[in-house]
Structure 1
Amino acid sequence: MAELTGAQWRKSTRSGSNGGNCVEVADNLPGLVAVRDSKDPTGPVLTFSPTAWTNFLWAAKSAH
């Protein structure tokens, strides 16, 4: 995907040492947050608007 060119992928600081079972996020792209499986970096990517991603994070943190 052309809009993912320049994506800087990072794992959550909460990923720990769980054998690589985590997601990576690229939030350095204008108007887009991309999420992928760290075990399959060339596989499918989910994309969200920054607002939708912020809302998701807020909801996930509130669920604890």
Structure 2
Amino acid sequence: MTTFQWKKSSRSNAGGDCVEVARPHQSILVRDSKDSDGPTLSFTPGGWVGFVRGVKAGRFSL
């Protein structure tokens, strides 16, 4: 089993709405901090940049 060094987002709030990010070689992994055994999103570095830009531009909603 591979273990990654996960870091909680600096944008996380006290209400528990948190994400964690890990950066293994040539990828960015994202997970919900409340469900560390749950699903993980995986991005290439370029895909991550595009995703973050989309979030900041309001392109995604719940």
Q: Where do 1:1-64 residues align within 5 Å?
A: 5-18=2-15, 20-27=16-23, 29-63=24-58
Q: State the alpha-carbon separation in 2 of the partners of residues 61 and 21 from structure 1.
A: 17
Q: Name segments (4+ residues, structure 1) moved above 6 Å.
A: none
1:6 shift after superposition: 4.1
CA RMSD, aligned part only?
A: 1.5
More helix by share: 1
More strand by share: 1
Size of the aligned set, in residue pairs, is 58
Structure 1 residue runs without a partner (length 5+):
none
Q: CA deviation at 1:57?
A: 0.6
TM-score (norm 2): 0.76
Q: Secondary structure at the match of 2:10?
A: coil
Identity of aligned residues (%): 47
- 1:9-62 deviation digits (Å, cap 9, x = unpaired): 1111111211x22211112x1111101111111122111111101111112123
5+ residue gaps, structure 2, are none
